[in-house]
């Protein structure tokens, strides 16, 4: 089809707000300067597991310049982003469960005094034996009180167990030509956004609590604060300033937000808590350290017969998003290939570590790596080109998976073809000299979780528009701009409908007093849901302008089109008028134009337990190819080039989509080649590398060239046909590297990160196996 001719949609316009960012004027939470602001600091547990025997803050409180100190007892009600696992206290109450868990909060005149006060807080701990990893957490615990969370239903330290079975997997495997199996291990990794978390809380003289916080989920923060602090939501105002990256790491309500609030409620002065980098690592809720066993069967023609996944993930001390992760490790492997027989067991364990949670590509990334490597093994056994076999197995568009996911638009085959042809795949795969390789992998990801986190009938995203006599279009939404460009999407959607350019649009998405609810920036939901809500609101406004145009010039409402700030009569162009003229008429006897639009996901999915996990109104697809070479003496992997194709339905802003894809490549390369949350049994529950020096993210020098291909499958329910482009593009990069390494040196790396040392070990093992 020919793409419709749009004026704003599909144009690579710079990000809304980018001028402030490049000139240094953009305000992030720590940049706010509210007179009288105190410095808040958090005293943290040095023990991974301990009882708090005594906690005495009196000496610290007596220090001049200290204005308030709060402890766990001041806010005993636990919270958590998921209503089903509200298990985290603002501060440890009678016990602490990880190194770095908050124990007390201090508000003082300056950092120096706060640090001095911290030394004066007396805490007596009784250390208990910590649980170091998920396997250890599986051991039965005789006395429930000795569990990390005594209240859980399991007799060990498991937090969540998920089991699903569709079709008849044992039969399918027994009849398969080949079943590729593997045990895969993954280090935990961190989001490593550049802006440390920060929150400023101010309990004003009217008894209202204002919080400015670097958060992806202002609404969930709003709810959690209300519960923990015992204030009605109406007395809390959440403001989200510019956020310096999130990637899932700012998508929970956090203790420091509660602590800053408790402190300001105590002393009625604004309190700022900004983390240092180590605190960011302690609080990050990164990707779960995981062990995943996967088996993939195929018939002799390369048709997939079944998929078995068993995932054990290390959740750390608290729930966070972990219940969702427990599902996603399995259910998000339902695409892009048709799987008729499927079995999944997912287990999440509590351990005495900082918690894991949601990170870009939530739950899907690690399983995807295993699945795509085993897929290649099947292709090799069958003797078929892996690209060809992927095309053969691709889910069609507009179908339903065995676990009742509704698939709509699907551009995966086009993605595969694009990267295959551009990369010279057919001339390279299996034909490059030893040490050089090329690998392919695909992706499948939700474009917004169809279910909100909490039970509600309120729409998932609402957008308000107001236009007054100056003609500027004010758009309100609580959708969280975290750098991904959601404000730009919002502006473009409204501008397109009203026939204006984006300079007319004023996006206001910071303040919960002004903006209607959007559930936040997680699960790649914003473009799809907020975009649809924005279109609806803008169409309502356009209708009002149309009627005004008819009143002024006659004609039918259907006669008018809106473009270039004009309201054009397509039947009689002489009746055309400017946008401002139509607006003037519309405002008469009416006052400012207002409109509201909302999005609610359709009812989807099956009736079985856990059917809601992974449901999305639509899914994104993709395919990447990586070419690399391995220094077989050192084990270093050198990336030559990436070809990245992603089906985002429609690129509302190709520049932003390209940025997302390249950014995903960067982040995924980090996980596959170097990043790890380094725990050592001797480090007593400490992360060994809580700094940007020791936790390595790729620098510009490691980043290979990336050719980006945007595939537009035009989703029927997406805003202008759009789907997500923020998380799905991360998935294929890891296994495309893994498959390329196999092509280069003949070993399938089953442990991430793939370090130079592990490459050498694998090469040696291969050599021994042969001799």
Partner 1 sequence: MILPPFTLHEPKTVDEAVALKTKFGKDADFVAGGTDLLCNYKYEINAKPHVISLGTVTELKSFDTTRIGAGALLDDVMTDSGMRRDLPVIPAAIGVISSHLLRQTGTVGGNLMVDTRCFWFNQSKFWRDSISGCLKSEGDACRVVWGAKECVAVYSGDLAPVLITLGASVTIAGPKGRRVVPLGEFYEHDGIKRHVLGEGELLVEIRIPTEARTWKASYRKLRTRESFDFPVLGVAVAAKVDGDLLLDAHVNLGAVHTTPLSRDGAISQFIGKRIDEATASEIGEAVADGLVIHNNTAMTPAYRRKMVAVFTKRCFLDVTGKRAVAETASR
Partner 2 sequence: MSQPPKEVIKFEVNGRTVEVAVRPYDVLLDVLRNELDLIGTKRGCDQGSCGCCAIHMDGRPVLSCLTLAKWAAGKKITTIEGLANPEPHPLQTAFETCGATQCGFCTPGFIMSAKALLDRNAEPDEATIKEHISGNVCRCTGYLQIVEAVQKASEELLEKDRPHDASVVERNRQTHPAGR
Binding site for partner 1 (CB under 8 A): 44, 46-47, 99-100, 111-112, 115, 276, 278, 631, 633-636, 674, 680, 682-686, 688-690, 692-694, 696, 698-702, 755-757, 760
- Of the candidates 728, 676, 17, the one whose C-alpha atom is nearest the C-alpha of residue 412 is 728
- Write down the least CB distance from residue 543 to partner 2, Å: 32
User: CA gyration radius for the chain?
Assistant: 27
Q: Are 308 and 302 in contact (CB under 8 A)?
A: no
Q: Backbone dihedral region of 503: left (phi > 0), alpha (psi from -120 to 50 degrees) or beta?
A: alpha
**Which is closer to partner 1, CB of 356 or CB of 755?**
755
**Which is closer to partner 2, CB of 462 or CB of 659?**
659
607 is a site residue for partner 2 (CB under 8 A):
no
| Binding residue for partner 2, selected from 573, 693, 770, 771, defined by CB under 8 A | 693
Task: Provide, for the chain, the percentages of residues in helix, strand and coil under a 3-state DSSP scheme, each rounded to the nearest 5.
Answer: 30, 25, 45
- Write down the least CB distance from residue 278 to partner 1, Å: 5
- Write down the least CB distance from residue 486 to partner 2, Å: 11
- Of the candidates 86, 109, 139, the one whose C-alpha atom is nearest the C-alpha of residue 37 is 109
Segment 154 to 213, residues that bind partner 2, using CB under 8 A: 191-196
Angle between helices 733-745 and 756-770 (to 10 degrees): 40
485 is a site residue for partner 2 (CB under 8 A):
yes
Q: State the binding string over 68-97 for partner 2 (x if CB under 8 A, else -).
A: ------------------------------
703 is a site residue for partner 2 (CB under 8 A):
yes
Phi first, then psi, for residue 291 (nearest 5°) are: -125, 125
22 is a site residue for partner 2 (CB under 8 A):
yes
User: Which of partner 1, partner 2, none does 243 bind, CB closer than 5 to 8 A by kind?
Assistant: partner 2
- Write down the least CB distance from residue 280 to partner 1, Å: 12
- Of the candidates 352, 349, 281, 355, the one whose C-alpha atom is nearest the C-alpha of residue 684 is 352
Q: Are 744 and 435 in contact (CB under 8 A)?
A: yes
Interface with partner 2 by CB under 8 A: which range of 20-28, 172-180, 443-451, 565-573?
Answer: 20-28
| Number of residues lying near partner 2 (CB under 8 A) | 60
**Which is closer to partner 1, CB of 56 or CB of 694?**
694
Q: Are 536 and 599 in contact (CB under 8 A)?
A: yes
Containing 24, the helix (H) or strand (E) segment is: none
Interface with partner 2 by CB under 8 A: which range of 223-231, 314-322, 663-671, 742-750?
Answer: 663-671
**Which is closer to partner 2, CB of 193 or CB of 598?**
193
The DSSP bridge pattern shows strands 209-213 and 198-203 to be antiparallel
Q: What is the 3-state secondary structure (H, E, C) of 128-158?
A: CCCCCCHHHHCCCCCCHHHCCCCCCCCCCCE
- Write down the least CB distance from residue 44 to partner 1, Å: 7
| Partners of 563 in the β-ladder | 566
The DSSP bridge pattern shows strands 473-476 and 505-508 to be parallel
Q: State the binding string over 246-265 for partner 2 (x if CB under 8 A, else -).
A: xx------------------
User: Which of partner 1, partner 2, none does 636 bind, CB closer than 5 to 8 A by kind?
Assistant: partner 1
- Write down the least CB distance from residue 65 to partner 2, Å: 12
User: Which of partner 1, partner 2, none does 196 bind, CB closer than 5 to 8 A by kind?
Assistant: partner 2
The DSSP bridge pattern shows strands 209-213 and 236-239 to be parallel
**Which is closer to partner 1, CB of 453 or CB of 637?**
637
Q: Are 463 and 597 in contact (CB under 8 A)?
A: yes
User: Which of partner 1, partner 2, none does 543 bind, CB closer than 5 to 8 A by kind?
Assistant: none
Interface with partner 2 by CB under 8 A: which range of 269-277, 414-422, 602-610, 625-633?
Answer: 269-277
User: Which of partner 1, partner 2, none does 756 bind, CB closer than 5 to 8 A by kind?
Assistant: partner 1
Cis peptide, bond prior to residue 753, ω within 30 of zero: yes
Burial class (CB in 10 A: 0-12, 13-18, 19+), 694: exposed
| Binding residue for partner 2, selected from 63, 565, 697, 763, defined by CB under 8 A | 697
Interface with partner 2 by CB under 8 A: which range of 15-23, 410-418, 491-499, 739-747?
Answer: 15-23
665 is a site residue for partner 2 (CB under 8 A):
yes
- Write down the least CB distance from residue 508 to partner 2, Å: 18
Q: Which residue has the tokens 């008849």?
A: 168
Cα–Cα dist 516/146, whole Å: 44
User: Residue 59 is encoded by which pair of tokens?
Assistant: 């000496």
- Write down the least CB distance from residue 341 to partner 2, Å: 38
Cα–Cα dist 637/673, whole Å: 8
Cis peptide, bond prior to residue 336, ω within 30 of zero: yes
User: Which of partner 2, partner 1, none does 19 bind, CB closer than 5 to 8 A by kind?
Assistant: partner 2
- DSSP string of 177-191, one letter each residue: SEEEEEEEEE--B--
- Write down the least CB distance from residue 698 to partner 2, Å: 8
285 is a site residue for partner 2 (CB under 8 A):
no
User: Residue 498 is encoded by which pair of tokens?
Assistant: 């009203």
Containing 642, the helix (H) or strand (E) segment is: strand 637-647
What residues have CB less than 8 Å from 700, skipping those under 6 apart? Answer: none
Per CB under 8 A, residues contacting partner 2 are: 12, 14-15, 17-28, 30-31, 33, 112, 116, 191-196, 242-247, 274, 276-277, 482-485, 655-656, 658-659, 662-667, 691-693, 697-701, 703, 705-706
């Amino acid at each position: 089809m020919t793409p419709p001719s749009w004026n704003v949609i599909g144009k690579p316009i710079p990000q809304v707000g980018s001028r402030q960012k490049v000139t240094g004027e953009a305000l992030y939470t720590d940049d706010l300067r509210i007179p009288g602001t105190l410095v808040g600091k958090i005293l943290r547990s040095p023990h991974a597991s301990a009882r708090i025997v005594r906690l005495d803050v009196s000496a610290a409180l007596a220090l001049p310049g200290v204005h308030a100190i709060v402890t766990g007892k001041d806010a005993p009600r636990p919270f958590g982003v998921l209503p089903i696992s509200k298990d985290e206290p603002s501060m440890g109450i009678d016990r602490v469960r990880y190194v770095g868990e908050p124990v007390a909060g201090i508000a003082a005149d300056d950092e120096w005094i706060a640090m001095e006060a911290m030394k004066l807080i007396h805490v007596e701990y009784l250390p208990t034996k910590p649980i170091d990893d998920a396997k250890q957490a599986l051991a039965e615990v005789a006395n429930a009180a000795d569990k990390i969370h005594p209240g859980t239903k399991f007799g060990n330290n498991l937090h969540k167990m998920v089991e699903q079975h569709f079709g008849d997997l044992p039969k399918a495997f027994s009849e398969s030509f080949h079943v590729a199996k593997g045990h895969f291990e993954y280090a935990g990794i961190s989001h490593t956004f550049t802006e440390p978390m920060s929150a400023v809380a101010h309990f004003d003289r009217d008894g209202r609590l204002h919080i400015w916080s670097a958060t992806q989920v202002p609404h969930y923060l709003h709810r959690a604060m209300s519960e923990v602090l015992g204030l009605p939501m109406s007395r809390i105002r959440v403001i989200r300033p510019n956020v310096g990256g999130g990637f899932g790491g700012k998508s929970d309500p956090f203790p420091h937000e509660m602590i800053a609030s408790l402190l300001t409620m105590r002393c009625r002065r604004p309190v700022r808590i900004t983390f240092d980098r180590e605190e960011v690592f302690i609080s990050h809720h990164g990707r779960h350290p995981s062990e995943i066993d996967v088996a993939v069967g195929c018939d002799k023609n390369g048709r997939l017969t079944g998929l078995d996944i068993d995932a054990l993930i290390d959740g750390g001390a608290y729930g966070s998003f972990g219940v969702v992760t427990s599902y996603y490790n399995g259910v998000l492997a339902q695409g892009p290939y048709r799987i008729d027989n499927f079995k999944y067991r997912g287990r999440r364990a509590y351990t005495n570590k900082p918690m894991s949670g949601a990170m870009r590509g939530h739950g899907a990334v690690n399983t995807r790596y295993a699945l795509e490597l085993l897929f290649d093994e099947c292709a090799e056994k069958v003797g078929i080109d892996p690209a060809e076999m992927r095309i053969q197995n691709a889910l069609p568009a507009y179908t339903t998976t065995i676990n009742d996911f509704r698939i709509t638009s699907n551009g995966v085959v086009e993605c595969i073809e694009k990267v295959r042809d551009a990369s010279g795949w057919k001339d390279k795969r299996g034909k490059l000299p030893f040490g050089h390789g090329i690998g392919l992998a695909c992706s499948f990801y939700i474009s917004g979780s169809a279910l909100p986190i909490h039970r509600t009938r309120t729409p998932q995203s609402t957008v308000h528009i107001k236009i007054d006599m100056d003609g500027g279009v004010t758009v309100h939404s609580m959708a969280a701009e975290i750098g991904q460009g959601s404000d730009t999407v919002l502006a473009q959607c409204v501008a397109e409908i009203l026939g204006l350019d984006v300079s007319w649009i004023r996006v206001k998405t910071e303040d919960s007093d002004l903006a209607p609810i959007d559930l936040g920036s997680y699960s790649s939901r914003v473009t799809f849901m907020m975009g649809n809500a924005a279109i609806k609101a803008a169409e309502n406004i356009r209708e009002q302008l149309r009627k005004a145009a008819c009143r002024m010039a006659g004609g039918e409402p259907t006669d008018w089109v809106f473009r270039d700030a004009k309201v054009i009569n397509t039947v009689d162009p002489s009746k055309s008028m400017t946008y401002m003229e139509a607006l003037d008429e519309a405002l008469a006897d009416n006052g400012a134009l207002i409109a509201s639009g909302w999005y609610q996901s359709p009812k989807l999915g099956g009736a079985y337990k856990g059917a809601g996990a992974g449901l999305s109104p639509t899914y994104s697809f993709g395919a990447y190819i990586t070419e690399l070479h391995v220094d077989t003496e050192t084990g270093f992997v050198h990336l030559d080039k990436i070809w990245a194709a992603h089906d985002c339905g429609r690129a509302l802003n190709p520049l932003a989509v390209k940025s997302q894809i390249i950014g995903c490549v960067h982040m995924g390369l980090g996980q596959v080649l170097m990043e790890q949350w380094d725990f050592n049994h001797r480090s007593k529950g400490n992360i060994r590398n809580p700094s940007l020096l020791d936790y390595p993210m790729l620098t510009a020098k490691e980043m290979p060239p990336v050719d980006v291909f945007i595939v537009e499958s035009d989703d029927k329910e997406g805003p202008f046909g759009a789907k997500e482009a923020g998380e799905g593009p991360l998935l294929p990069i890891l296994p495309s590297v893994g498959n390329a390494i196999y092509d280069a040196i003949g070993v399938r790396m089953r442990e991430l990160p793939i370090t130079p040392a592990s490459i050498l070990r694998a090469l040696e093992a291969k050599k021994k196996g042969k001799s």
